Amino acid sequence: MDEILSIKNLTKTFDDFVVLDHINMDVKKGEVVVIVGPSGCGKSTFLRCINAFEKIDDGSVLLSGESINPSKGKQNKTREKVGMVFQSYELFPHKTVLQNMILAPMKVKKVKKKDAEKEALVLLERVGLLSKKDSYPHQLSGGQKQRVAIVRALMMNPEVLLLDEITAALDPEMVREVLDVVINLAKEGRTMVIVTHEMLFAKAVADRMIFIDGGRIVEEGDPVSFFENPQTERLKKFLNSFTY
Amino acid sequence: MGFEVLLKGSNMSRLLVGLAVALRISMISVAISIVLGVILGSLMTLKNPVIKVVSKIYLEFIRIMPQMVLLFLVFFGTTKALGINMSADTASIIVFSLWGTAEMSDLVRGALSGIPKIQYESSFSLGMTTAQTYIHVIIPQIIRRMLPLSINLVTRMIKTTSLVMMIGIVEVLKVGQQIIEANRKSSPNAAFGVYATIFILYFLVCWPISILSKYLEKKWES
């Protein structure tokens, strides 16, 4: 398997505070990497660096062998290949579900409207939202919005999909419908980097688990040994905080 | 009731010409205010300390100052103090544009800062460029947020043009007064009929605009 994403010595500081401290990580095609860690540990910043939303202070992020450099003004070319779904959905409120999905393919990839719509409808069908194609975001529940956000990102056919705590703002009963979509994507062989607090979901979807604390990768491994046999005290303590 | 006076001679058409004078001043001012207000409002979101202080002083000054005082200040004040010979038309367009720009810029600033940074990022994350993001994602949302309030501002500006008669512009209200004066002997009740007609004229101009604003507000509610 070839590596899609190759991150070397990634370092990011805000003023004097080191958010990410020499992070190394490779992601292979079709791999699902789940990142967990206490809040404020730098997980979200890490995802934002992959998508060129943050200026990297040191190290490199390579996407299919090409460097991501936010200072070069070519970030949009990178972002075409990297999909991102946010905690707060961030659908475009003035556009319908269908319009939300076809906007970027039409404007960025110059796909014909008819073709974009056809693809959008197939995706909506798959996440059970075909009947909502003409609804506006404010008419949808949180879970529905998030499913639309996921398929909107898929419309660009990204090489990597970044999911940033996509269930954190959802009511508990809606978490499942969103995570089911992600699990199906994993089965289809989508490459994903996921930040989440849902440990059971992480266990189910991950090919590899990564624990970040204090801006460093403290522990990583396959999900079974990660959850059942953590090696470091910090990870043990972190995992314990999820059990009562 | 005094309505009959409007049927005499060219009184009614004079009144309509007066209305046109008022509308011309307000429409030119509205157009200038929209352009300058969008520019100033966008600048205000840049968080530049100088722009921030200057715009704040400007906005407060315009808000505190009654429009009529501003009108006198510009028309009489500048003519005497600066020796500029300004027509009343120009003076009123300047004053109304100053006022409209202040209000409009605040609306633009509010609408712009009401759109979270992550909404831009959500568009960028789909590979859209900055220009595409503004054209397809940000500006349509700003227009939707602003339009009902700006329309409201337009009606207020139209109504407030009645003040320009104070600096000698013969707009609808002034024409009305002239008609009443000229017919004081023949129709002593003219005041009611003339002012009621002016009321209806203002209403006919402002009401559809107000309806449009309500309609858009409802349509874009989210």
Specify whether the CB–CB gap between A146 and A128 falls below 8 A: no
Q: Which residues of A touch B140 (CB under 8 A)?
A: 94
Domains located in chain B, CATH noted: 4-221 (1.10.3720.10)
Token output for A201: 């979901």
Chain B: nearest CA to A128, how far in angstroms? 22
Instruction: Please give the Cα distance from A30 to A207 (Å, whole number).
Output: 9
Instruction: Please give the Cα distance from A90 to B121 (Å, whole number).
Output: 9
Specify whether the CB–CB gap between B90 and B29 falls below 8 A: no
Residue A2 reports pLDDT greater than 80: no
ipTM above 0.85 for this complex: yes
> Among B150, B119, B147, which Cα is nearest to B218's?
B147
Is A76 close to B141, i.e. CB distance below 8 A? no
> Is the pTM higher than 0.90?
no
Is A92 close to B137, i.e. CB distance below 8 A? yes
- pLDDT per residue over A36-48, tens digit each? 999 878 888 999 9
Q: Where are the alpha helices (DSSP H) in B45-189?
A: 49-64, 67-72, 78-81, 88-113, 117-124, 130-133, 139-160, 172-182
Instruction: Please give the Cα distance from B5 to B14 (Å, whole number).
Output: 12
* Closest chain A residue by Cα to residue B133: A104
Q: Measured between CB atoms, which of B118, B126, B220 is closest to A104?
A: B126
- Residues of chain B with pLDDT > 90: what percent? 60
* B197-207 burial: b if 16+ Cβ within 10 Å, else e: bbeebbeebee
Residue A50 reports pLDDT greater than 80: yes
* Chain A CB within 8 Å of residue B218 CB: no
Q: Stretch B198-213: mean pLDDT, rounded? A: 92
Contacts of B214-219 spanning 24+ positions with Cβ under 8 A: B214/B148, B216/B144, B216/B147, B216/B148, B216/B151, B217/B148
- E strands, chain A, in order: 3-14, 17-28, 32-36, 58-63, 66-67, 82-85, 160-164, 192-195, 208-213, 216-221
> Among A79, A130, A139, A71, which Cα is nearest to A104's?
A79
Burial of B217 by CB count in 10 Å (0-12 exposed, 13-18 middle, 19+ buried)? middle
Angle made by CA atoms A125, A127, A129, in degrees to the nearest 5: 65
To which residue do tokens 């404020």 refer?
A40
Is A94 close to B127, i.e. CB distance below 8 A? no
Q: Which amino acid is at A48?
A: R
Give me the pLDDT at residue A70, please: 60
- pLDDT per residue over A68-127, tens digit each? 766 566 778 888 899 999 999 999 999 999 999 999 999 999 999 999 999 999 999 999
Give me the pLDDT at residue B222, please: 54
Q: Measured between CB atoms, which of B118, B127, B136 is closest to A86?
A: B118
